[in-house]
Structure 1
Amino acid sequence: MSDIYIRTTGRAGRITLTRPQALNAMTYGMCLGIDTAMRNWREDDAIDLVIIDAEGDKAFCAGGDIAELYDTGTKGDFHYGRRFWRDEYRLNALIHEYPKPVVSFLQGFTMGGGVGIGCHGSHRVVCDSSRISMPEFAIGLVPDVGGSLMLAQAPGRLGEYLALTAHRLGPDDAILAGFADHYIPEEQWADLIDMLESSGDATLVDTHARPAPTGDLRGLEVEIDPLFDGDTLGDILAHLRARDSDLARQALKTMSRHSPLSMACGVEILHRLRAASPTIRRALELEYRFTARAMEHGDFLEGIRAQIIDKDRSPRWQYKDMDVPADAVTRMLHPLDQEGLTFEEETT
């Protein structure tokens, strides 16, 4: 497959994303290829660990390739999108629960679907160029691919802030928020990968790590927590509108460009996850309730039209005034019964 290079080297299973011209955006075929390889390596005693990296300087993976999703959805075919998300989410769970170490090297942009591939492993490495974010609200989705789990487990109300503002996390902030584990300068990566391949010893990542340069968020937590502490989107908006600060004003400006329905549902997902013991499967199941409905009942197709297709940056969102009724959130997150997400392994 030209978009991805899968092989074994020494004691390592190796996955390299190879479409830097598209910022290594994840296609359905790439997703299935990674899934097959990792299931095979899981049972292979000759493989001690898995290494995931990507070609190019700009991005590890800037998200999912959504052209086919838009094309099928605008023709009234919602089955393809549901199948894509279902298989992608099963892969996200596989990586999160993998019994062997998974080492990912996350240079440049890691966004959306890239988070699902690169941020669920056991050893997530960032460098100075790393910028990790969950910008799904801007296209009418919710933070998905298991990203809601990391957001729900981030300190304080950092999760709501990162989701609602699509803030890009540098290396130190990514470690603080739980999207990464180790800072290692990128010029050391090639030698480290060689050692991992020959030894199969993932603890080498720990020994090569060093403290990351201090990020932007550590001094802002005391302001973020009260502003983004609310049971609903409406509560958070009220806090932001009542506060005269640069952070509040910038947050409101950014949120004004996002889908109100998506934001309201995303906030609800985080609260539901925190209300119990959050797990990757629970997070993905809640996300899938939304994404399975996103084309037919949500703002996804309109968000893609405005941001990617027509590029007019003027989406016609539902609930443009951001006053989203509670029953609209309930409808989008209601269980899907027989069509819900399951994690049984299938032959595709």
Structure 2
Amino acid sequence: MNAAPDDPASGNAPVLLRHEGRAGHLVLNRPRAINALNHPMVRFMEEALDAWEDDASVATVVLTGAGERGLCAGGDIRSIHDDVRAGGRTASAAFWHDEYRLNARIARYPKPYVAVMDGIVMGGGVGVSAHGSVRVVTERSRVAMPETGIGFVPDVGGTYLLTRTPGELGTHLALTGAAVGAGDAVLCGLADHYVPSERLTEFTAALADREASEAVRQYAEAVPEGELAGRREWIDHCYAADSVEEIVARLYAVGDRHAKEAAETLLTKSPTSLKVTLAALRRARELPSLEAVLDQEYRVSCAALGSPDLPEGIRAQVVDKDRRPRWSPSRLEQVTEADVARFFEEADAEAPGRG
């Protein structure tokens, strides 16, 4: 690994390691970027998990993020933009391959993997946390898969997680990219327990000498009520439609203010991304495992590298920050079935679920 826990230079490493009693701590350490994931971080985490799996002194793995803003804002999309603009694209495909393999590794990890999902947890941050065995949210948590807003499609096992939510809640979150708080994260199966942020230090310290389940019993509190349960009727009706166009039409017709806002949100997203996302969700429901879904996501992600919407979406949101992406095609009806089908063709490289 890049830096041992007792290495003086480890404080500058993008992932910090430390032992506290029988807990091994992974601390994502790019606070200025809200701990956005890059390729070295993914490799570092995988190496740490490999080492700790056979280390009898480590009973529990704990994931947190440095800084006050959140666990992880997602993948380092600026580097993806630069890769696409440079015409290479292989660096992004390699990053996703290893990232998705890490997501599967976390989901199957044989020791308790405690993810502290405090603050912003989006995209790739969901991938390194929501597949864990113990997922803790706080009153500050904002959990989202916002990929359609940058011309991309939910990945990191997101289409697996979001197809296993009650009703059509996952379809709503995937298409709109809406961020949810603690109550709705638990309702949607993206988290398990609620611990107030003021008790996180005590909670993580307790993991040094006791089982994760015992620490949860001591520090977790009743989950605050969310917003989505009260909107299930129109969400389930509208998002059960077979096309994005019909979803938008139903959202406008239902006569609910929140439904209308959702429709207006959808019309700001990449039309291609919306249609590919809906197809990916419907396909993921029929796939047998997380690994199979990650293989599908890898194909879709690699195909997105050849789409004009991905670099344009990142440009508008992160590079120029004008928030005015020029999508191509610009209208839902201009995106054909053949356009969508192209995203699901086999990628050239070996898929992560088989890697």
Contact 2:72 2:122 in 1 (8 A): yes
Query: Which residue number corresponds to residue 146 of structure 2?
Result: 135
Q: Distance in 2 between matches of 1:283 and 1:134?
A: 16
Correspondence list, 1:240-279, <5 A: 240-277=251-288, 279=289
Q: Does 1:318 align with 2:328?
A: yes
* Equivalent position amino acid for 1:217 in 2: L
Shift of 1:168: 1.2
1:159-184 CA distances to partner (integer Å, 9 max, x unpaired)?
11111111111111000001100001
* Equivalent position amino acid for 1:147 in 2: G
Moved more, 139-148 or 17-26: 17-26
Query: Which residue number corresponds to residue 215 of structure 1?
Result: 226
Partner secondary structure for residue 19 of structure 2:
strand
Shift of 1:55: 2.1
Contact 1:18 1:24 in 2 (8 A): yes
Moved more, 72-81 or 314-323: 314-323
Q: Distance in 1 between matches of 2:293 and 2:306?
A: 22
Q: Distance in 1 between matches of 2:308 and 2:342?
A: 10
Query: Among residues 8, 12, 15, which one is paired with 2:23 in the alignment?
Result: 12
Query: Which residue number corresponds to residue 197 of structure 1?
Result: 208
* Equivalent position amino acid for 2:328 in 1: Q
* Equivalent position amino acid for 2:297 in 1: E
Contact 2:169 2:232 in 1 (8 A): yes
Q: Does 1:82 align with 2:93?
A: yes
Query: Among residues 190, 197, 218, which one is paired with 1:179 in the alignment?
Result: 190
Q: Distance in 1 between matches of 2:258 and 2:90?
A: 40
Partner secondary structure for residue 18 of structure 2:
strand
1:107-151 CA distances to partner (integer Å, 9 max, x unpaired)?
111001110111110010011111101100000111111111111
The share of aligned pairs that are identical, in percent, is 38
Query: Among residues 53, 77, 100, which one is paired with 2:111 in the alignment?
Result: 100
Query: Which residue number corresponds to residue 130 of structure 2?
Result: 119
Query: Among residues 280, 292, 305, which one is paired with 1:295 in the alignment?
Result: 305
Q: Does 1:31 align with 2:32?
A: no
Q: Distance in 1 between matches of 2:133 and 2:196?
A: 19
Contact 2:160 2:285 in 1 (8 A): no
- Change in Cα spacing, 1:207 to 1:280, as seen in structure 2 (3 Å) is farther
Partner secondary structure for residue 281 of structure 2:
helix
Contact 2:98 2:352 in 1 (8 A): no
Q: Distance in 2 between matches of 1:74 and 1:281?
A: 30
Correspondence list, 1:48-87, <5 A: 48-87=59-98
* Equivalent position amino acid for 2:46 in 1: D
Query: Which residue number corresponds to residue 307 of structure 1?
Result: 317
* Equivalent position amino acid for 2:310 in 1: F
Shift of 1:244: 3.0
Q: Does 1:286 align with 2:288?
A: no
Q: Distance in 1 between matches of 2:271 and 2:260?
A: 17
* Equivalent position amino acid for 1:302 in 2: E
Q: Distance in 2 between matches of 1:232 and 1:37?
A: 43
Partner secondary structure for residue 229 of structure 2:
coil
Correspondence list, 1:216-231, <5 A: 216-231=227-242
Q: Distance in 2 between matches of 1:248 and 1:151?
A: 19
Contact 1:288 1:340 in 2 (8 A): no
Q: Distance in 2 between matches of 1:342 and 1:228?
A: 30
Q: Distance in 2 between matches of 1:175 and 1:269?
A: 23
- Change in Cα spacing, 1:13 to 1:193, as seen in structure 2 (3 Å) is same
RMSD: 1.6
Shift of 1:305: 1.2
Q: Distance in 2 between matches of 1:234 and 1:184?
A: 40
Specify every segment of 5 or more residues in structure 2 that has no aligned partner in the other structure, as ranges.
1-9
1:39-62 CA distances to partner (integer Å, 9 max, x unpaired)?
111122221110001122221111
* Equivalent position amino acid for 2:102 in 1: L
Contact 1:103 1:202 in 2 (8 A): no
TM-score (norm 2): 0.92
